[in-house]
Amino acid sequence: MTKPSKPNPPHQPTKPNQKVVAVLGTGKIGEALLSGMIRSGRAPADLLVTARRQERADELRTRYGVEPLTNAEAAKRADILILACKPQDMASLLAELAPHVSTDTLVISAAAGITTAFIEEHLAAATPVIRVMPNTPVLVDEGMSVISAGSHATAADLAHAEDVFGAVGKTLRVPETQQDACTALSGSGPAYFYFLVEAMTDAGILLGLPRDKAHDLIVQAAIGAAVMLRDSGEHPVKLRENVTSPAGTTINAIRELENHGVRAALIAALEAARDRSRELATGNNT
Ligand SMILES: NC(=O)C1=CN([C@@H]2O[C@H](COP(=O)(O)OP(=O)(O)OC[C@H]3O[C@@H](n4cnc5c(N)ncnc54)[C@H](OP(=O)(O)O)[C@@H]3O)[C@@H](O)[C@H]2O)C=CC1
Ligand SMILES: O=C(O)[C@@H]1CCC=N1
């Protein structure tokens, strides 16, 4: 495509050198990122959002004090566009954006599977594109955002992406060939832990505990285990061995987990998530 020029003067940020960021497709992850950017000190006036339904636009205006725009307006005004629609909506969003995105604009996609090459094909030649896989703990500033540069993204573009996503958790640069695997581990990862907590809470009910107590016990065990995994410097095998007393209770539970193939199930589950990310690469997979 030929390079469109920026028809409108760019939006003036409230802080010098502050990039104006637009979130296009403000659903679950888009809203989580928006709230995180506001918490990290970006002024709502430097944040643009788009929504395709009036009801959603009204919600965002009320909750965050942002003024929802059309995708075209956001593309004209922002320095950084974060595309947070579903992979299946990406081709139509890019078609809408293409006439308005200048090559000065950094385009960041958070969509599972969608490659930087796919986005580059839909925009003007040399548009810098970055692929990021965040996860929902960005809502509590404990996110993990895995970042890969497209063919025209510079070191400065990567630094801008790390600035935005680093405000709401950790960031990690990987080659784009690893993004589908990272999506399976990290993007989807929180869901597996919620699933385990849900299942273990049910076990507490079976063992006769009230649901709220069972929930609190399992959540605190999860928090304690997570902090030890992060801070102790010990391998997970060692941490598990420390819990597993000879002829005690834990080994009986571990034997059942192995008998039921839980380890193999987790490996197969993450492989299936990786495969689905690959299938979504063109965005036309329902
Ligand atoms: N949820 C998660 O944990 C993570 C999701 N992602 C990725 O983020 C993306 C969004 O996922 P998620 O937030 O769960 O999905 P949601 O359905 O909650 O959000 C998608 C949003 O995009 C909006 N949208 C779609 N097309 C347009 C358009 N043309 N213009 C403006 N807005 C549009 C939708 O509007 P409407 O409400 O009208 O449908 C919706 O609000 C996906 O690509 C997913 O792969 C990445 C990491 C983690
Ligand atoms: O389930 C999904 O497709 C998205 C991508 C990673 C987490 N949620």
Cβ count within 10 A of residue 97: 22
* CA of 186 relative to ligand 1 center, distance in Å: 17
Tell whether ipTM is more than 0.90. Answer: yes
Ligand nearest to the CA of 97: 1
Task: Name the residue ranges covered by the structural domains of the chain.
Answer: 21-179, 189-280
Pocket of ligand 2 (CB under 6 A): 112, 183, 187-188
SS3 152: coil
In the chain, the N- to C-terminal Cα span, in Å, equals: 27
Rounded distance between C-alpha atoms, residue 210 and residue 216, angstroms: 10
* Burial letters 189-218, b for 16+ CB under 10 A, else e: beeeeeeebeebbeebeeeebeeeebbeeb
* CA of 26 relative to ligand 2 center, distance in Å: 15
Task: Count H helices and E strands in the chain, helices first.
Answer: 12, 7
Ligand nearest to the CA of 113: 1
Cβ count within 10 A of residue 27: 13
Q: Which is the closest atom of ligand 1 to the Cα of 191? A: 3
Among 177, 70, 75, 76, smallest CA distance to 131 is for 177
Mutate to test the pocket of ligand 2, among 133, 138, 183, 278 (most ligand atoms within 8 A of CB): 183
Domains 21-179 and 189-280 share a fold: no
Rounded distance between C-alpha atoms, residue 23 and residue 51, angstroms: 9
Candidates 3.40.50.80, 3.40.50.2300, 1.10.3730.10, 3.30.365.10; correct CATH number of 189-280?
1.10.3730.10
Ligand nearest to the CA of 137: 1
Give the class (CATH, top level) of 21-179.
alpha beta
* CA of 89 relative to ligand 1 center, distance in Å: 8
Strands 129-133 and 106-109: parallel
> Which residue, by CA, sits nearest to atom 5 of ligand 2?
112
For each of the chain's 286 residues, which pLDDT tens digit applies? Answer: 444 444 444 455 555 567 999 999 999 999 999 999 999 999 888 899 999 999 999 999 999 999 899 999 999 999 999 999 999 999 999 999 999 999 999 999 999 999 999 999 999 999 999 999 999 999 999 999 999 999 999 999 999 999 999 999 999 999 999 999 999 999 999 999 999 999 999 999 999 999 999 999 999 999 999 999 999 999 999 999 999 999 999 999 999 999 999 999 999 999 999 999 999 997 777 7
Among 108, 141, 190, smallest CA distance to 37 is for 141
